[in-house]
Chains A and B, each alone.
Chain A
Amino acid sequence: MEHEQIREHLPRFITGSLGAQESLAISQALAEHPELMADLRLALALHKAFEEELTMPPPLPAVIYQQARQPVPLLPTALTGSIRQLRQAADITSKAIKLAFKMI
């Protein structure tokens, strides 16, 4: 791996975003080329400086919760229609039975 490639990978090496093989290659390159240690020191110093100035972010915008889209209905429309028809049929049957009792 060329020096410029290693320099390019160093930030991801220190943040742990590299894969195992790439990390190993960087470690070996650092051991073989001590002149790259200055780049590693810079990467670490920058990471630390940025980390120190982080603050807690504000909460998520409340409007996200207000704008929450309607949940998808559990029953499909066709089934909902069938249930409505069944209820209507049950109502008619119930009325018919009540009428029958009155007649008796």
Chain B
Amino acid sequence: MDDVLTLARSGNPAAFERLVTPYLKGLYGFIRKRVDEQAEDVYQETLLSAWQALPGFQQNASIKTWLYAIAGYKCADALRKHMRQPQMEEMDERAASPGFEEGTLARMDIRDALDALGAEDQQLLYLVYHEGFTQKEAGVILGIPEGTVKSRLYRLRGILQQALGGEQDGT
């Protein structure tokens, strides 16, 4: 892998492709969680930035964490630029709807429960439960302190446990 990294750093696009390909599907899924409509653009910008920044890549993080950190920054940047007002309204509606309240989640399945959460919460769960990042790494990627990751996960587990429990009880 070090040889591939060296080649990619020297400007070899095929080596770059080989280096990032194992993470692309998951990376695209991560971006879609946050910026669904602009996902393709943000994905392309992420990879272009990674390609351009690769010569300066420090090996104190894995390529995967580094790629996701760039994507996390690009997502936040895209959201800032576009000030996604409709989505914010949608999230407010979700939060106000009965489905979002913990008490009623018992009647939902895990998919519905996830859909009822905000984009940031879904992204955090995705990083930890699908991509297998540690809480510290997830914090770096999302630009939030590890303590916040911990408390947010604790709260989300509580909400989702209820949903899953209801599903399994057949309610």
CB-based contact A55/B29 at 8 Å = yes
Kindly identify, within residues 156 to 171 of chain B, every residue whose CB is under 8 Å from any CB belonging to chain A: 157, 160-161, 164-165, 168
- Proximity string of chain B (63-98) to chain A, C-beta cutoff 8 Å, 1 when within and 0 when not: 000000000000000000000000000000000000
The majority secondary structure among interface residues of chain A is helix
Residue B13 interfacial (CB < 8 Å): yes
Given contacts A55-B28, A60-B17, A68-B12, contact A46 B134 (CB under 8 A): no
Please report B residues at the A interface, Cβ cutoff 8 Å. Answer: 10-13, 16-17, 20, 24-29, 32, 40, 43-44, 47-48, 51-52, 110-111, 114, 125-126, 128-132, 134-135, 157, 160-161, 164-165, 168
Task: Report the number of A-B residue pairs with Cβ-Cβ less than 8 Å.
Answer: 91
**Closest CB-CB distance, B137 to chain A, in whole Å?**
10
Judging by beta carbons under 8 Å apart, are A49 and B43 in contact?
Answer: no
18 residue pairs bridging A and B, Cβ less than 8 Å apart: A15-B132, A17-B132, A38-B164, A42-B157, A42-B164, A47-B129, A56-B28, A57-B25, A57-B28, A60-B20, A60-B47, A61-B44, A61-B47, A67-B51, A68-B12, A69-B11, A70-B11, A72-B10
Q: How far is the CA of A56 from the CA of B25 in the complex (A)?
A: 6
